[in-house]
Amino acid sequence: MTETASTASAPTAPVEKVRGALLRYRVLAWITGIWLLLLVAELILAYGFDNKALDFVPIVHGWVYFVYLIMAIDLAIKVRWPAGKTIITAIAGTIPFLSFWFEHKRTQEVKAQFNL
């Protein structure tokens, strides 16, 4: 009976797959955060100063955020996050500076859970 209990709480995904998914998530969280800050700068320039110099940023950020969503969901599936945790992590890419903080917290959690 103790063997069944220990296997139920053991991580189910191979560690190498989790390590790869975590690395991809971390990279995209940082890239998304940087492009989101550029988006804020673009909005300030566009609406505050009527300057359209960074008008390409919203499109690039949209695509980068889309890839971030895919990487966050990939990691969530591999580490078996509940739906709420996955949704909150996905939303973190829409609020300036939050993607950096969530990346740090989720990395700590996954590393502790899988002994990485």
Domain that holds residue 37: 26-114
Tokens (6 digits) for 36: 């989101």
pLDDT tops 50 at residue 55: yes
For residue 45, tell me if it sits in a domain. yes
Q: Identify whether 61 is part of a domain.
A: yes
Residue 91, domain member (yes or no): yes
Q: Is residue 12 part of a domain?
A: no
Asked if residue 95 belongs to a domain, the reply is yes
Segment 70-76 mean pLDDT: 96
pLDDT reported for residue 7:
47
What average pLDDT does the segment 64-71 reach? 96
Number of domains in the chain: 1
Q: How confident is the model at residue 116 (pLDDT cuts 50, 70, 90)?
A: confident
Q: For 15-54, how does the pLDDT look when each residue is reduced to its tens digit (9 = 90+)?
A: 899 999 999 999 999 999 999 999 999 999 999 999 999 9
Residue 34 lies in a domain: yes
Model pTM score: 0.83
If pLDDT is split at 50, 70 and 90, which confidence band does 14 have? confident
- Asked if residue 14 is part of any domain, the answer here is no
Q: How far is CA 45 from CA 53, 56, 60, in A?
A: 8, 13, 17
pLDDT for the residue numbered 13: 64
Give how far Cα 23 sits from Cα of 16, 47, 107, 110, Å.
11, 36, 9, 11
Q: Is the pLDDT of residue 72 over 60?
A: yes
What pLDDT, on the 0 to 100 scale, is given for residue 12?
58
